[in-house]
């Protein structure tokens, strides 16, 4: 059973919680959390790194000790320190810390005074009024605990970016209606364009804070006001989304935007850098003593720290500050670089719109080409195309192309990769297409070795060009299948194939760290909308966001090429 990075990060986080409950050195606790964050951001699997003989202690936030613990866990499946700590302190206590307002100190008190070690224990104690009697607790805290117990049980669910956008749009226009409000900006992971968003961080500039936070907590959709101050307030919406609002004066806008956009790790690095240069950085500005040296814009703050502007998508503490210092930040791919879409569906299979409608929509977007990639016969739920129906579509596209002069419709298919790695349609018909997109749609539960072999065998087919949604995950619904992504990428590069970054907001597959890996391996990526309607073609922007998070520039992306060059890339022999 291969060990995932997320698993190791989770262990370190749990260990940090439990050590914190034991009053361990807070900096030691922080070291575990920093390491966990660092591991989650890696573009390589720790197992692979170890296998390749890499020195894990070279990774940021990982020293000799933690490198040793990672190695032990990978080799034995055990983390002895965690087992020792769990023998003293119940692991479930770290779950209690997920309840809003309960941190290590209070959980420790609850455990020591009332022997509480589970949600059920806590609910019982709070209902019978025992919690309010504890020092540092009161009736209000007890009531809040009862209210927030339920929410904490599914506190880990993050919203997909596209859903967060819906919630945000209404809220922004509501806030803009508030008198005195100058600018409204959503910061946080939303601005960094992470694939999922845990909460919304909204920054507002205004002279007076109170009228704005008052207006904010009065929003129709608010289900609970968590805190309500002069410059800062937090609410929960009926949708379950938490929203933090921060009001700052115009002169602090840039510094506040930096602070509120994060990531936390990026901010901490910037603050350390500020200290080194004799400054202090907070959300109000960059100060030398009491004098504000910068703060109105992010660019000004970065400049005073000796750095160029760093795009929000890069602010994940993945080497961006180092790259900025050396002037080696990548030029990121943008919407205007994209010349076409290489994955979409029509009514012939499970799309909602006709071939002609899809093409018209793509022309409106200014695309030079659009590949029609309906499903193949095995995907019967989608009414997949067999040889005969695909031939009909080919003829129809040829005819359509004769009438078009500003866009070329490319003949293609999203062909199923069968269990043995063969393709769902014969080479004879695949050879008549402009390009072939292959995808795994079933048998997700193969072993890592089997799945990797299956996909690489599919790429052995000389007509294969693009591997669609390479990880197979659906956000919040289905985890990725087991596959050695690095091996798949290397195999693709050797064979002249490409991997798709599927831009559907529920897929976003490749992940951002996958993109970083592809870039390192010099494998080009195709960003595709996988549109099932004309409106879905707009999903492209989510793919671009993800690609930018993965440090990809126009040269790293296949569909920034003109058609002639594209055709060359797809000619494998």
Partner DNA sequence: GCCGTTTTCGGCCCGACTGTTTTCAGTCG
What residues make contact with DNA under the rule CB under 7 A?
Answer: 25, 27-28, 30-32, 34-35, 57, 60-67, 81, 97, 99-107, 132, 135-142, 144, 188, 199, 201, 209, 213, 227-234, 242, 244, 264, 267-268, 271-272, 274-276, 280-284
CB of 288 vs DNA, minimal distance in Å: 12
Q: Which is nearer to DNA, 2 or 101 (CB)?
A: 101
Nearer Cβ to DNA, position 60 or 211? Answer: 60
> How many CA atoms, within 13 angstroms, populate the side-chain half-sphere of residue 382?
23
Tell me the C-alpha to C-alpha distance, in Å, between residue 322 and each of 265, 269, 317: 13, 10, 9
CB of 65 to DNA, least distance (A): 4
CB of residue 249 to DNA, shortest distance in Å:
12
d(CA 191, CA 257): 10
Min separation Cβ 157 and DNA, Å: 14
- Dihedrals phi, psi of 283, to nearest 5 degrees: -70, -5
Task: Considering only CA atoms, give the Rg of the chain.
Answer: 26
Cβ proximity to DNA, 234 vs 529, nearer residue:
234
Complex with DNA: residue 29 or 501, whichever CB lies closer: 29
Beta-carbon count within 10 A of 411 CB: 20
Q: Within a 10 A sphere around the Cβ of 162, how many other Cβ atoms? A: 16
Minimum CB distance to DNA smaller for 97 or for 178: 97
When the beta carbons of 222 and 569 are compared against DNA, the nearer one is: 222
Q: Minimum distance from CB of 95 to DNA (Å)?
A: 12
> Considering beta carbons, is residue 233 or 560 the nearer one to DNA?
233
**Integer distance in angstroms from the first to the last C-alpha of the chain?**
38
Minimum CB separation of residue 125 from DNA in Å reads 14
Instruction: Report CA-CA distances (Å) from 104 to 124, 143, 148, 191, 476.
Output: 20, 19, 17, 30, 29
Q: Write the DSSP string, 307-331.
A: -----GGGTTTSSHHHHHHTT-PPP
Nearer CB in complex with DNA: 174/287: 287
> 80 is written with which tokens?
């002895």
* b/e code 27-55 from CB counts within 10 Å (16+ = b): eebebbbbbbbbbbbbbbbbbebbeeeee
How near is the Cβ of 352 to DNA at its closest, in Å? 39
C-alpha closest to that of 1 among 93, 86, 73: 73
Q: In the bound complex, what is the minimum distance in angstroms from residue 511's beta carbon to DNA? A: 23
Q: Residue 382 CB, nearest distance to DNA (Å)?
A: 41
**Least CB distance from residue 126 to DNA, whole Å?**
12
* Gap between the Cα atoms of 405 and 403, Å rounded: 7
- Shortest Å distance, C-beta 276 to DNA: 6
Q: What is the Cα–Cα distance from 414 to 441, expressed in whole angstroms? A: 10
3-state secondary structure (DSSP) of residue 117: coil
CB-nearer residue toward DNA: 247 or 355 = 247
Exposed/middle/buried for residue 497 (C-beta within 10 Å: 0-12, 13-18, 19+)? buried
Residue 416: CB partners within 8 Å, gap ≥ 6? 375, 376, 378, 379, 384, 423, 424, 438, 439, 440, 441, 442
Output the smallest distance, CB 242 to DNA, in A: 6
Closer to DNA by CB, 282 or 360: give it.
282
| Cβ distance to DNA smaller for residue 66 or 425 | 66
How many Cα atoms occupy the beta-carbon half-sphere of 466 within 13 Å?
Answer: 32
Q: Which of 343, 178, 191 is CA-nearest to residue 257? A: 191
Q: Which of 94, 95, 99 is nearest to 152 (CA)?
A: 99
Return the number of the residue (280 or 493) whose C-beta is nearest DNA.
Answer: 280
């Amino acid at each position: 059973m291969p060990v995932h990075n997320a698993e190791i990060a989770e262990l370190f986080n749990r260990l940090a919680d439990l050590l914190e409950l034991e009053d361990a050195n807070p900096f030691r606790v922080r070291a575990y959390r920093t390491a966990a964050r660092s591991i989650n951001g890696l573009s390589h699997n720790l197992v692979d790194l170890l296998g390749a003989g890499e020195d894990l202690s070279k990774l940021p936030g990982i020293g000799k000790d933690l490198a040793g613990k990672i190695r032990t866990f990978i080799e034995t499946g055990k983390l002895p320190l965690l087992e020792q700590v769990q023998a003293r302190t119940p692991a479930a206590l770290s779950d209690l810390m997920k309840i809003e307002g309960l941190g290590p100190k209070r959980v420790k008190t609850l455990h020591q005074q009332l022997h509480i070690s589970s949600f059920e224990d806590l609910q019982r104690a709070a209902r019978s009024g025992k919690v309010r009697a504890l020092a540092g607790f009161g009736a209000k805290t007890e009531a809040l605990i009862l209210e927030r117990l339920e929410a904490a049980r599914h506190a880990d669910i993050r919203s997909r970016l596209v859903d967060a956008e819906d919630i945000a749009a209404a809220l922004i226009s509501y806030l803009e209606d508030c008198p005195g409000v100058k600018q409204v900006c959503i910061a946080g992971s939303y601005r960094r364009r992470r694939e999922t968003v845990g909460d919304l961080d909204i920054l507002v500039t205004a002279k007076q804070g109170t009228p704005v936070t008052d207006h904010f907590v009065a929003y129709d959709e608010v289900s609970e006001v968590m805190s309500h101050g002069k410059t800062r307030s937090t609410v929960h919406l009926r949708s379950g989304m938490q929203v933090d609002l921060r009001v700052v004066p115009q002169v602090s806008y840039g510094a506040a935007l930096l602070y509120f956009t994060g990531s936390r790790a990026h901010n901490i690095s910037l603050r350390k850098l500020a200290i080194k240069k004799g400054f202090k950085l907070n959300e109000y500005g960059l100060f030398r003593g009491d004098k504000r040296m910068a703060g109105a814009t992010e660019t000004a703050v970065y400049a005073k720290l000796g750095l160029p502007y760093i795009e929000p998508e890069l602010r994940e503490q993945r080497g961006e500050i180092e790259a900025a210092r050396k002037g080696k930040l990548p030029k990121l791919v943008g919407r205007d670089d994209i010349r076409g879409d290489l994955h979409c569906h029509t009514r012939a299979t499970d799309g909602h719109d006709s071939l002609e409608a899809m093409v018209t929509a793509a022309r409106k977007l200014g695309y030079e080409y659009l590949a029609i990639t309906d499903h193949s016969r095995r995907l019967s739920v989608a009414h997949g195309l067999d040889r005969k129906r695909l031939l009909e579509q080919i003829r129809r596209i040829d005819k359509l192309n004769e009438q078009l002069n500003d866009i070329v419709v490319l003949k293609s298919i999203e062909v199923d990769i069968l269990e043995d790695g063969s393709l769902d349609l014969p080479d004879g018909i695949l050879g008549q297409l402009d390009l072939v997109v292959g995808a795994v749609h079933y048998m997700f539960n193969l072993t890592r070795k089997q799945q990797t072999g299956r996909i690489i065998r599919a790429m052995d087919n000389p007509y294969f060009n693009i591997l669609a949604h390479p990880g197979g995950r659906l956000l919040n619904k289905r985890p990725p299948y087991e596959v050695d992504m690095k091996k798949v990428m290397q195999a693709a590069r050797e064979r002249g194939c490409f991997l798709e970054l599927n831009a559907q907001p529920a897929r976003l597959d490749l992940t951002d760290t996958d993109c970083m890996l592809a870039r390192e391996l010099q494998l080009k990526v195709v960003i595709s909308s996988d549109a099932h309607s004309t409106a879905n073609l707009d999903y492209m922007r989510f793919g671009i966001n993800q690609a930018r998070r993965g440090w990809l520039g126009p040269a790293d992306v296949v569909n920034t090429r003109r058609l002639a060059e594209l055709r060359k890339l797809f000619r494998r022999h």
